[in-house]
A and B are shown apart, each in its own frame.
Chain A
Amino acid sequence: MPKIMGLTGDEAIAYAAKQSKVDVVAAYPITPQTIIVEAFSEYVHNGEVHTEFVCVESEHSAMSACIGASLAGARVFTASSSQGLALMHEMLYIASGLRCPIVMGVVNRALSAPINIHGDHSDMMGSRDCGWIQIYCENSQEAYDWVLQAFKIAEDHEVLLPVTVNIDGFILSHALERVEVYDDGDVEKFLSIRNAPFKLDPDNPFTVGALCFTDYYFEIKRQQVEALKNAPPVIDKVNKEFEGLTGKKYSYINTYGLEDAEAAVLCLGSTAGTAKAVAKKLRSQGKRVGVIKPWVYRPFPSEHLLQTLGNLKALAVLDRAICPGAPYGALCSDVVSTLYDNGKQLKVFNAVYGLGGRDITPFDIEAIFNEAMDVAKTGIVKEPLKFVGVRE
């Protein structure tokens, strides 16, 4: 029987990692992720877990130790944010390149300079091509549920890739929410212990991390793309099994009001909650609006997105990170690339918002919906890339 707990987003992630019986956690504190490492340290010091917690001296070493532990066959978890994620950037590519199914809670926070501790997606977007599966959560419940599923996806032998589970810094990491947690026994039934197909074993030695020149490097990177392509059926399977256990339906994309919407907002993470509330109000006024929230950002769910578009005429894509000098933010670029050449007459504009934790209010989102409805009516996008909520 599930029980109800009051958990912050960070605590929900730590609790899920605990129930996942991780063997090794190597992590370094950074606001707003710190609650995760603190919670896990308590589990260790109270003897509640068998986990080896490696209190490393930097995020770079955190991911390095995670890679070593994962190659030794352990189930491995870590967490980071912002500058920490940037410091481990080098290691992110190596974790995926060496096919280490590490799960990392990323508590999204702005990147310096100027230094800022609040939530935006600059950190993860800065590392979006690192070859990891990337999941964004709307609330603590989703964070808890996705961490449990993330291990099962990552460790599947068809995938063997690391996964990040992202939550918005402070907005989710420090907000206490109602979370339905499952029995340890149920989690154990869903997620058995890791069965590594290869590991550092003196009885069966192998060399990992060899030097690959022009003759092999490309093929190995190509295989990584193939592994990411293998992820969707595994994600489907894991989502279904999870639904069997919990009754909760997860997929690549979560939508609201799309059955008849003509204008919609597409966004990641906690902003989707606000967008749904605004959409609900507008729909009660007879306006045909909806919300699209990709749960899985990498691999980008292009096919699923195309299937969800229905009768949409205008789409506002909200990016909580900036791509200086690019035509759009990262998320919008992915959406536009997906739509282009698919016969979709959909008009798209991009709203960059919320940098450095700047609030996005229901009023802001209502204005975006209004603009999207105008675009749906006129077919004209006046401003393809705009900045919402900034003094100019």
Chain B
Amino acid sequence: MVRLQELTTEERFTSGHRLCAGCGAGIIARMTLKALKKPAVVVNATGCMEVASTIYPFTSWKLPWVHVAFENAAAVASGIESACKALVKRNAWNKDIDIIAFGGDGGTFDIGIQALSGALERGHDFLYICYDNEAYMNTGIQRSGATPHGASTTTSPAGTKIPGKPEFKKDLIGICAAHGIEYAATASPAYWNDYITKVQKGLDVKGPAVLHVFSPCPLGMRHDSEKSIEIARLAVQTRYWPVYEVEDGKYKLNIKVPNPKPVVEFLKPQGRFRHLFQPQFQKELEVIQQWVDQNWKRITALCGEP
């Protein structure tokens, strides 16, 4: 694990951006850039992180940064990586750089999954980081393939008949690991040294790596902005968000949770789950707890944990 004093004090993701107070995306961007050991280029999919950090003519990024569109961050990264290789071959480039692509859950789970799959299959050397705030927060909180069961969004509202999103969350790391990539992992910004270590591991790999990070969103998850890290920690401590890695196909649980808190402790501070605490929908709380238990069992079994 990386130690605090090993990290640079330089701020490569600067203040002055327009992300909400308590936004996970800003915390994740800042921590990611503190993990860098080499010069890097950042590719950003359309989303909160992009719109709030580069309002022309300003930028929060002190390194080369490119945004092309919503669904193609992985494809753009492929192009940059290929260009560097070709330019090295014709002696027009001699710098060893890292390439990082950021996408939200919409840009990763849904509209960007094809471009990501293609780039992983082709084996480009880059790190893809999905900051997952579990809905299309940038466009005003619509459900995505990453939105959990029961969450209320503007396209899966807490109706009188249907209480929030009926479907469950996709297994992103399972999908990515199935490509046979060398490194894939989940993380939570509440465990900064686990996250930064994983960024460094992902960048060290020769080939593609994927990180899937929980990203608290005061606006869309509807929690107090000062509670972001607390929510991110509760996600792990309730076993809602298992923190593990898949290295060369081998699963490893990074944060053990021997005495988990009930998932309602994670759900309760978030307005998106408020409707589930009404008497007629309370059975949904059990459904979510069951999903958490089964998912934990599945992941820990893959990790060879008892």
Interface residues of A (CB under 8 A from B): 21, 23-24, 26, 50-52, 54-58, 60-62, 64-74, 76, 90-91, 94, 98, 193, 200-203, 205-213, 216
Contact = CB atoms under 8 A, between A and B. Distances in A.
A68 B83 contact: yes
B79 interface: yes
When A and B form their complex, which 8 residue pairs have the shortest distance between CB atoms, in order from nearest? A68-B79, A202-B39, A57-B118, A65-B79, A209-B67, A72-B83, A64-B75, A61-B75
Contact of A60 (B50, B63, B71): B71
Given A68-B43, A207-B54, A211-B51, A23 B79 contact: no
A72 B114 contact: no
Given A60-B115, A68-B66, A205-B64, A193 B79 contact: no
Contacts, number: 166
B80 interface: yes
B257 interface: no
A193 B118 contact: no
Contacts of A61: 72, 75, 78, 114-115, 118-119
A227 to B, nearest CB: 18
A69 B69 contact: no
B118 A200 contact: no
B63 A209 contact: no
Contact of A202 (B67, B82, B87, B95): B95
Instruction: Name the residue in A65, A203, A211 with the highest tally of chain B Cβ atoms < 10 Å from its Cβ.
Output: A65
B76 interface: yes
A202 B64 contact: yes
A24 B83 contact: yes
A173 to B, nearest CB: 25
A65 B87 contact: no
Contact of B79 (A66, A205, A207): A66
B127 to A, nearest CB: 15
Interface string B113-134: 0110111011000000000000
A64 B79 contact: yes
B30 to A, nearest CB: 16
A207 B83 contact: no
B86 interface: yes
B305 to A, nearest CB: 35
B20 to A, nearest CB: 16
A71 B41 CA distance: 11
B181 to A, nearest CB: 15
15 contacts: A54-B122, A56-B118, A62-B75, A64-B78, A67-B68, A67-B76, A72-B41, A76-B83, A94-B68, A203-B39, A207-B64, A209-B50, A209-B66, A210-B54, A211-B67
B279 interface: no
A193 B97 contact: no
A73 B67 CA distance: 16
B267 to A, nearest CB: 33
Given A23-B87, A51-B86, A205-B62, A210 B56 contact: yes
A69 B69 CA distance: 15
Given A54-B78, A65-B76, A71-B66, A212 B56 contact: yes
B54 A64 contact: no
Given A57-B117, A61-B118, A68 B80 contact: yes
